[in-house]
């Protein structure tokens, strides 16, 4: 290996291994300054490699130019826009034909949370149920950030979005204070499809992400592999672009986001301890979209964090302890 | 053109019988078109299907409103359905029934009747009241429009296999053998 | 995956495929976002220990390795500042482009 | 080798065709098997269900070597096939009515990506009123979306045309998806005698498969498929127009290809159909009725009966509805002096049948060329599985005959209004 990063720093291990591998996106993509999605997709495709067909439904991924514009492409592997609604189905067709022809091709989807949890959920669920052989990655920036930061079903309770705004209220009800429902837990739904592999990940924990990518690529050769990556959005969540990793890290340290993986044979396993989390306010105060929260709303969110943590822990215990 | 209307109940196989009869007619080098009526054909509900036979290609793909022949595979159906609607004068009725001709109430349009105690025979052959193939035998015996041989060949090419095929062959033969044919003389000529 | 380099992009002309059937793109985007920057990262070469954290977290992957330090390709660096914030050695400073 | 190679190779005599009896849905399935697709995606819906059941059985019995995808809905059905086609698969599915409506998003896209997918529409009326029966409303509703749409009259024609559809779709001058429309109920479940071509003869007819020569999702040929195209300014508008014009050109090319493929089919298999527009007893007719699909058989019988009664009536059947066969219709319509058009669906905007509405455009061109305006009227029948019988067609014939020396009504005649 020609790479000379310090081997005693564990973060350098990834660089030493894959630093020479080609970044399979164009050098210039139109992601926002400090875009976590751009970071994620560049690492992911580098790891998955060129024997890949990439599907990116409408959202930030193609929005920053990965499928290109008027004759130019942003990707060095075959790439296409599915519809927002049919990513898993269309990619399944591609993969099946290569399998029929006896060619080993990785079918990779990088989809937003809106296109996966809302309008694209039917095709996602159908493909998972059929065990279509693909790696389906969801970039969860908790809303429709590409089209102007509208709410999705993955938007968390209390968050400001352009369709769950903060307002003075009207005669019919309370003042509007952000989203009034909790987020849909898409990765847990995928666990209930008994996918070959399900994992949650964060770009703040790159070694964990890379390890999970390896397992997901392997699982995608025999079944449906699903990786759900929490992806802070500097523009939509309202924090300075340089704070991206810090926000991602705080999400995990407070248990707002938990990192785990699941296979049908091994069950669910945390890849990072969820004991002794920081208070959720450490996460909430890091960004503008939660600035308006009342003490009651913060209490609700903290309660949900604890509830979610216990809920997933029970999955984990049933798999290993029980 | 010879037009037949099948009457039965959902689950009794009258649509299947119509198809087998059409196949038998094709076996004999004739042209045949069969069309089921369309509704929610749930088990037990009255159903109809239509069959046209001809020496020449058949172009009409429509229902049949004035049949030459009625095949009623269910003995109780006449209580709820006017199976005789539109029957051509001098037309033929093939009826599954244990009753003698004298006990049947028939309109003036009926000119020929084939009667078969199909339920009794079916219970002996299948241990269930499946009368459709039986009534095809009755049809062949009563009308001569199709031969028993052609029906047998059509049955062989159908989806029936092994024991089911043997049972249906028996049913077909007994339907043919145990049908009584009656010509009804009308006092007033048409 | 054994292969880590891209295959050459498809060439419509060479393959004699009309360019008006299915919409396709076969040229890599020439866009370079370096001119988006209002701030640029500057590396203190003495402090840099080549831990690769900046490379790990750079969204545009514009970090380049030099003999004794890591530096940035300013054609694509958008100036987000993540590298400066994340550098464990505090070896990267963001300075205004106007200066 | 020599200049004589310009002559077409002689078509060897076809093997004996198997005579059998089947419903239209089974005929479609048998045709699909003969065309050897790589991938079939299915989702059941009345009255298409038995078609996909037959396809599934053929695959299960090893009589068809295709990957079958039991997708979770029609939207995914067509999406799976798009992916398959982009990777080089010959693909097929079938749907109707609400399924087609649910499929609309990828349906629109299929023609834009120039994917030669073949899909039967076992036509069904549109809901609401809630209904599960036949009618052309589903196919008519999507007639402006860039698919070739061909309607069949008989079970045999379903079989033959479904095989031909793959050749038409994959022709390099066309490269468009094709719908084979077979009337729900009357054709889907109508059982009739058919002749089944031998597989080897169909293989010779089909030639070599090359589905994705123009676009591919293949790691060895990297490209971006369907990037953003258009916008105001730059090269966007011209680029978009170039693709759209090419789509329209492919559609017009289809007219000639459909004729050529039908001619070759007739030569190879001995069964010929008018590929675009059929003229029946038209040459000495004073007036004509126009039909589409399975209603045509009864209409021809009615025309024969009317001829015996001294009425000089002929019949024009449209087989290819999209692209609309304008020139062929001009030739047919120039032979008569009045026209009655029978639709099995409605055109809500004009308060008439959609086929009638399309014909009005042809009549305008005919009037410009001949100087006379052909009187025409619209009949709507057979909605939601209703029967259009010979007596109905006699009403159509009589009303159309009256156009020869009377005013044309502006309202449509609803044939089953009093049934």
| Residues B26-75: tens digit of each pLDDT | 999 999 999 988 766 677 888 899 999 999 999 999 999 999 999 999 99
A88 Cβ contact list (under 8 Å, min separation 6): A109, A120, A123, A124, A126, A127, A128, A132, A134, A136, D76
DSSP 8-state symbol, A161: B
Instruction: Decide: helix, strand or coil at residue A103.
Output: coil
Using a CB–CB cutoff of 8 Å, tell me whether A77 touches chain C: yes
Nearest CA-CA distance, residue C16 and chain A, Å:
17
Going by pLDDT thresholds of 50, 70 and 90, the confidence category of residue B189 is very low
**In chain D, which residues have their Cβ closer than 8 Å to the Cβ of C18?**
214, 246
C vs D, Cβ pairs < 8 A, gives 55
Structure tokens at B32: 């045949």
Of B19, B26, B35, Cβ closest to residue D186: B35
Nearest alpha carbon to residue D122 among D104, D144, D97: D97
Question: What are the beta bridge partners of residue D20?
Answer: D194
CATH class label, D278-414: alpha beta
**Is A94:A149 a contact under the CB 8 Å cutoff?**
no
- Tell if the CB–CB gap between A26 and C29 is shorter than 8 Å: yes
First to last CA, chain D: 67
**Is D91:D151 a contact under the CB 8 Å cutoff?**
no
Query: Residue A201 burial by CB count (10 A; 0-12/13-18/19+): exposed, middle or buried?
Result: buried
HSE, CB side, 13 Å, CA atoms: give it for residue B147: 8
> In CATH, what number does D14-215+247-269 get?
3.40.50.970
Does position B138 have pLDDT exceeding 90, yes or no? yes
Chain C, nearest residue to A73 by Cα = C28
Q: Which of residues 254-273 of A touch C (CB under 8 A)?
A: none
Could you tell me which chains touch chain D, where touching means 3 or more CB pairs under 8 A? Answer: A, B, C
Q: What is the dihedral of CA D243, D249, D255, D261, to 10 degrees?
A: -60
**In chain B, which residues have their Cβ closer than 8 Å to the Cβ of D192?**
22, 31-34, 58
- Tell if the CB–CB gap between C29 and A203 is shorter than 8 Å: no
**In chain D, which residues have their Cβ closer than 8 Å to the Cβ of A100?**
38-39, 67, 89
B67 Cβ contact list (under 8 Å, min separation 6): B3, B4, B5, B50, B86, B87, B88, B91
Q: Distances from the Cα of D318 to the Cαs of A10, B43, B58, D91, D116, in angstroms?
A: 73, 39, 20, 26, 22
**Is D21:D194 a contact under the CB 8 Å cutoff?**
yes
Domain count across chain C? 1
**In chain A, which residues have their Cβ closer than 8 Å to the Cβ of D235?**
70-71
**In chain B, which residues have their Cβ closer than 8 Å to the Cβ of D301?**
59-60
**Tokens 């060095």 -> residue:** A76
**Interface-testing mutation among A1, A2, A9, A11, with chain C (most C C-beta atoms within 10 A):** A11
Does residue C13 fall inside a structural domain?
A: no
**Tokens 């958008």 -> residue:** C78
- Tell if the CB–CB gap between A33 and C78 is shorter than 8 Å: yes
**Tokens 């209580």 -> residue:** B79
**Is A319:A267 a contact under the CB 8 Å cutoff?**
yes
Q: How far apart are CA A57 and CA A80, in angstroms?
A: 8
Mean pLDDT by 10 residues, chain D (419 residues): 47 83 96 98 96 97 97 98 98 98 97 98 95 96 97 98 98 98 96 95 95 97 96 92 98 98 97 98 98 98 98 98 98 97 97 97 96 95 96 98 91 95
Strand B46-54 to B31-36 pairing: antiparallel
Average pLDDT, rounded, for chain A: 94
Using a CB–CB cutoff of 8 Å, tell me whether A279 touches chain C: no
Q: Distances from the Cα of A99 to the Cαs of A81, A213, A243, C1, D79, in angstroms?
A: 21, 21, 43, 17, 17
Nearest CA-CA distance, residue D211 and chain C, Å:
12
Residue A129: φ, ψ to 5° = -65, -35
Interface A:B, ≥3 CB–CB pairs < 8 Å: no
- Tell if the CB–CB gap between C22 and D219 is shorter than 8 Å: no
Q: How far apart are CA D358 and CA D375, in angstroms?
A: 15
**Is D38:A100 a contact under the CB 8 Å cutoff?**
yes
Topology of domain B2-183, CATH: Pyruvate-ferredoxin Oxidoreductase; domain 3 (3.40.920)
With residue D170 as reference, give the H or E element that holds it.
helix D155-170
- Tell if the CB–CB gap between B34 and D191 is shorter than 8 Å: yes
Q: How far apart are CA A227 and CA A225, in angstroms?
A: 7
Considering Cα of D94, then D97, then D98, then D104, what sign does the dihedral take? positive
Q: Distances from the Cα of D145 to the Cαs of A81, A224, C22, C72, D323, in angstroms?
A: 20, 34, 15, 49, 11
Domain that holds residue C82: 33-96
**Is D382:D134 a contact under the CB 8 Å cutoff?**
yes
**CATH for C85:** 3.30.70.20
**In chain B, which residues have their Cβ closer than 8 Å to the Cβ of D292?**
none
Structure tokens at A244: 């991206």
Of D114, D221, D224, Cβ closest to residue C21: D114
Domain D14-215+247-269 shares a fold with domain D278-414: yes
**Tokens 């241990």 -> residue:** B127
Using a CB–CB cutoff of 8 Å, tell me whether C1 touches chain D: no
A vs C, Cβ pairs < 8 A, gives 157
- Tell if the CB–CB gap between C5 and A73 is shorter than 8 Å: no
Q: How far apart are CA A89 and CA D77, in angstroms?
A: 8
Is the bond preceding D35 in cis, omega lying within 30 degrees of 0?
Answer: no
pLDDT, tens digit (0-9, with 9 covering 90-100), for B98-111: 999 999 999 999 99
- Tell if the CB–CB gap between D245 and C21 is shorter than 8 Å: no
Domains of chain A as residue ranges with CATH? 11-165+174-320 (3.40.50.970)
Nearest alpha carbon to residue C82 among A36, A238, A29: A36
Instruction: Decide: helix, strand or coil at residue D89.
Output: coil
The 10 Å CB-count burial string (b at 16+, else e) for B140-156 is bbbbebbebebbbebbe
Per-residue model confidence (pLDDT) at position A195: 98
Strand blocks (E) in D212-296: 224-225, 277-280, 287-292
Average pLDDT, rounded, for chain C: 94
Q: How far is CA A67 from the centre of its chain?
A: 19
Residue B142: φ, ψ to 5° = -75, -40
Chain C, nearest residue to D218 by Cα = C10
**Is D389:B65 a contact under the CB 8 Å cutoff?**
yes
Residue spans of the domains in chain D: they are: 14-215+247-269, 278-414
**In chain C, which residues have their Cβ closer than 8 Å to the Cβ of A240?**
81
- Tell if the CB–CB gap between B63 and D298 is shorter than 8 Å: no
Strand blocks (E) in chain A: 52-55, 72-73, 79-80, 106-112, 134-140, 197-202, 224-230, 260-263, 267-270
Q: How far apart are CA C34 and CA D176, in angstroms?
A: 42
**In chain C, which residues have their Cβ closer than 8 Å to the Cβ of A210?**
none
- Tell if the CB–CB gap between D245 and C20 is shorter than 8 Å: yes
Does residue C20 fall inside a structural domain?
A: no
B vs D, Cβ pairs < 8 A, gives 71
Of B26, B36, B60, Cβ closest to residue D21: B26
Going by pLDDT thresholds of 50, 70 and 90, the confidence category of residue B190 is very low
Question: What are the beta bridge partners of residue D378?
Answer: D341
Using a CB–CB cutoff of 8 Å, tell me whether A105 touches chain D: yes
- Give me the residues of chain A with pLDDT under 50, please: 1, 322
Of D114, D227, D245, Cβ closest to residue C25: D227
Chain D, nearest residue to A98 by Cα = D87
Using a CB–CB cutoff of 8 Å, tell me whether A36 touches chain C: yes
Residue B16: φ, ψ to 5° = -60, -45
**Is D400:D316 a contact under the CB 8 Å cutoff?**
no
Could you tell me which chains touch chain B, where touching means 3 or more CB pairs under 8 A? Answer: D
- Tell if the CB–CB gap between C22 and D221 is shorter than 8 Å: no
Give the CA radius of gyration of chain A: 19
Per-residue model confidence (pLDDT) at position A232: 98
Strand blocks (E) in D344-404: 376-380
Nearest CA-CA distance, residue C82 and chain D, Å:
30
Nearest alpha carbon to residue C6 among A95, A44, A23, A91: A23
Of D224, D231, D236, Cβ closest to residue A67: D224
- Tell if the CB–CB gap between A77 and C6 is shorter than 8 Å: yes
Residue spans of the domains in chain B: they are: 2-183
Per-residue model confidence (pLDDT) at position D291: 98
With residue B146 as reference, give the H or E element that holds it.
none
**Tokens 């310090």 -> residue:** A6
Total residue count of chain C as it appears in this document: 99
Instruction: Decide: helix, strand or coil at residue A227.
Output: strand
- Tell if the CB–CB gap between D228 and A101 is shorter than 8 Å: no
Is the bond preceding D379 in cis, omega lying within 30 degrees of 0?
Answer: no
Instruction: Decide: helix, strand or coil at residue C19.
Output: coil
Nearest CA-CA distance, residue C66 and chain A, Å:
9
- Tell if the CB–CB gap between C56 and A15 is shorter than 8 Å: yes
Going by pLDDT thresholds of 50, 70 and 90, the confidence category of residue B80 is confident
Q: Distances from the Cα of C48 to the Cαs of A24, B120, C96, D56, in angstroms?
A: 27, 98, 21, 64
Q: What is the dihedral of CA D305, D308, D311, D313, to 10 degrees?
A: 60
Nearest alpha carbon to residue D169 among D57, D269, D291, D253: D253
Nearest CA-CA distance, residue A264 and chain D, Å:
23
**In chain D, which residues have their Cβ closer than 8 Å to the Cβ of A94?**
83-84, 86-87, 217
D282 Cβ contact list (under 8 Å, min separation 6): D288, D314, D315, D316, D332, D335, D336
Strand blocks (E) in D243-308: 277-280, 287-292
Q: How far apart are CA D143 and CA C75, in angstroms?
A: 50
Q: In what order do the strands lie in the sheet with D320-322?
A: D67-70, D39-42, D91-95, D118-123, D178-183, D148-151, D320-322
Could you tell me which chains touch chain C, where touching means 3 or more CB pairs under 8 A? Answer: A, D
Using a CB–CB cutoff of 8 Å, tell me whether C11 touches chain D: no
């Amino acid at each position: 290996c020609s790479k000379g990063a310090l081997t005693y720093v564990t973060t350098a291990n990834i660089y030493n291994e894959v630093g020479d591998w080609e970044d399979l996106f164009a050098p210039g993509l139109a992601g926002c300054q400090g875009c976590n999605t751009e970071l994620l997709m560049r690492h992911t495709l580098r790891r998955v490699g060129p024997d890949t067909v990439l599907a990116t439904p409408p959202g930030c991924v193609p929005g920053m130019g990965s499928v290109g514009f008027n004759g130019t492409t942003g990707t060095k592997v075959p790439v296409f826009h599915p519809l927002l609604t049919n990513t898993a189905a269309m990619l399944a067709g591609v993969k099946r034909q290569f399998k029929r022809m006896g060619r080993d091709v990785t079918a990779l989807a990088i989809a937003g949370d809106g296109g996966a949890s809302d309008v694209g959920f039917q095709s996602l669920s159908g493909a998972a149920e059929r065990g279509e052989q693909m790696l389906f990655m969801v970039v969860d920036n908790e809303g429709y950030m590409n089209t102007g930061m509208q709410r999705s079903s993955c938007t968390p309770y209390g968050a400001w979005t352009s369709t769950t705004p903060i307002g003075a209220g009207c005669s019919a009800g309370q003042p509007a204070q952000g989203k009034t429902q909790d987020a849909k837990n898409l990765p847990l739904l995928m666990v209930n499809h008994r996918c070959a592999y399900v994992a949650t990940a964060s770009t703040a924990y790159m070694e964990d992400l890379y390890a999970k990518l390896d397992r997901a690529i392997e699982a995608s050769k025999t079944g449906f592999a699903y990786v759900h990556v929490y992806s802070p959005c500097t523009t939509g969540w309202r924090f300075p672009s340089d704070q991206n990793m810090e926000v991602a890290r705080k999400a995990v340290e407070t248990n707002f986001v938990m990192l785990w993986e699941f296979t049908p044979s091994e069950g669910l396993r945390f890849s990072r301890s969820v004991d002794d989390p920081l208070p959720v306010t450490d996460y909430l105060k890091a960004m503008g979209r939660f600035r308006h929260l009342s003490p009651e709303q913060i209490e609700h969110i903290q309660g949900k964090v604890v509830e979610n943590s216990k809920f997933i822990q029970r999955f984990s215990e049933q798999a290993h302890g029980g | 053109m010879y037009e037949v209307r099948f009457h039965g109940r959902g689950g009794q196989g009258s649509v299947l019988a119509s198809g087998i009869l059409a196949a038998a007619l094709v076996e004999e080098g004739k042209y045949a078109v069969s069309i089921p009526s369309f509704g929610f054909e749930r088990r037990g509900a009255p159903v109809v299907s239509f069959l046209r036979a001809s020496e020449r290609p058949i172009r009409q793909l429509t229902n049949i409103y004035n049949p030459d022949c009625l095949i009623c595979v269910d003995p109780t159906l006449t209580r709820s359905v006017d199976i005789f609607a539109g029957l051509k004068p001098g037309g033929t009725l093939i009826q599954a029934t244990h009753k003698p001709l004298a006990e049947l109430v028939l309109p003036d349009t009926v000119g020929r009747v084939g009667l078969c105690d199909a339920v009794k025979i079916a219970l002996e052959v299948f241990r269930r009241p499946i009368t459709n193939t039986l009534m095809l035998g009755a049809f062949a015996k009563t009308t001569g429009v199709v031969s028993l041989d052609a029906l047998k060949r059509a049955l062989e090419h159908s989806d029936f296999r092994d024991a089911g095929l043997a049972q249906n062959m028996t049913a077909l033969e007994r339907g043919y053998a145990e049908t009584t044919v009656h010509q009804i003389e009308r006092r007033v000529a048409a | 995956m054994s292969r880590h380099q891209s295959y050459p992009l498809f060439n419509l002309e060479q393959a004699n495929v009309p360019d008006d059937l299915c919409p396709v793109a076969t040229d890599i985007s020439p866009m370079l976002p370096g001119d988006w920057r209002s701030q640029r990262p500057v590396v203190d070469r003495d402090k840099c220990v080549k831990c690769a954290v900046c490379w790990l977290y750079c969204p545009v992957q514009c970090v380049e390795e030099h003999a004794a330090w890591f530096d940035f390709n300013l054609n694509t660096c958008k100036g987000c500042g993540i590298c400066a914030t994340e550098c464990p050695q505090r070896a990267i400073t963001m300075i205004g482009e106007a200066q | 080798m020599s200049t004589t190679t310009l002559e077409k190779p002689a078509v060897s005599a076809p093997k004996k065709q198997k005579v059998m009896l089947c419903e239209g849905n089974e005929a479609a399935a048998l045709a699909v098997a003969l065309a050897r697709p790589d991938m079939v995606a299915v989702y059941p819906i009345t009255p298409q269900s038995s078609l996909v059941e037959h396809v599934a059985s053929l695959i299960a019995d090893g009589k068809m070597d295709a990957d079958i995808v039991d997708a979770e809905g029609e939207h995914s059905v067509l999406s799976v096939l798009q992916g398959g086609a982009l990777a080089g698969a010959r693909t097929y599915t079938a749907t109707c009515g609400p399924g087609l409506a649910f499929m609309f998003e990828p349906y629109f896209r299929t023609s834009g990506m120039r994917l030669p997918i073949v899909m039967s529409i076992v036509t069904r009326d549109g809901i609401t009123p809630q209904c599960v029966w036949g009618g052309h409303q589903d196919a008519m509703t999507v007639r402006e979306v860039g698919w070739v749409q061909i309607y069949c009259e008989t079970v045999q024609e379903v079989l033959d045309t479904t095989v031909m559809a793959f050749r038409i779709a994959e022709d390099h001058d066309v490269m468009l998806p094709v719908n084979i429309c077979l009337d729900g109920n009357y054709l889907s479940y109508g059982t009739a005698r058919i002749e089944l071509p031998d597989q080897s003869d169909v293989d010779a007819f089909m030639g070599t498969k090359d589905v994705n020569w123009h676009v591919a999702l293949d790691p060895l040929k990297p490209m971006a498929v369907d990037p953003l195209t258009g916008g105001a300014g730059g090269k966007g508008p011209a680029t978009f127009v170039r693709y759209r014009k090419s789509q329209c050109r492919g559609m017009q090319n289809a007219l000639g290809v459909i004729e050529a493929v039908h001619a070759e089919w007739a030569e190879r298999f001995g069964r010929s159909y008018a590929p675009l527009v059929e003229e029946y007893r038209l040459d000495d007719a004073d007036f004509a009725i126009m039909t589409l699909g399975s209603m045509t058989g009864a209409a021809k019988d009615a025309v024969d009966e009317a001829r015996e009664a001294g009425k000089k009536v002929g019949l024009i059947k449209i087989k290819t509805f999209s692209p609309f066969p304008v020139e062929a219709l001009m030739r047919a319509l120039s032979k008569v002096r009045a026209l009655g058009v029978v639709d099995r669906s409605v055109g809500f905007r004009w308060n008439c049948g959609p086929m009638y509405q399309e014909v009005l455009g042809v009549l305008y061109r005919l009037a410009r060329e001949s100087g006379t305006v052909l009187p025409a009227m619209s009949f709507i029948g057979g909605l939601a599985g209703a029967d259009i019988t010979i007596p109905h067609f006699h009403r159509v014939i009589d009303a159309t005959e009256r156009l020869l020396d009377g005013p044309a009504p502006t309202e449509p005649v609803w044939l089953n209004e009093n049934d």
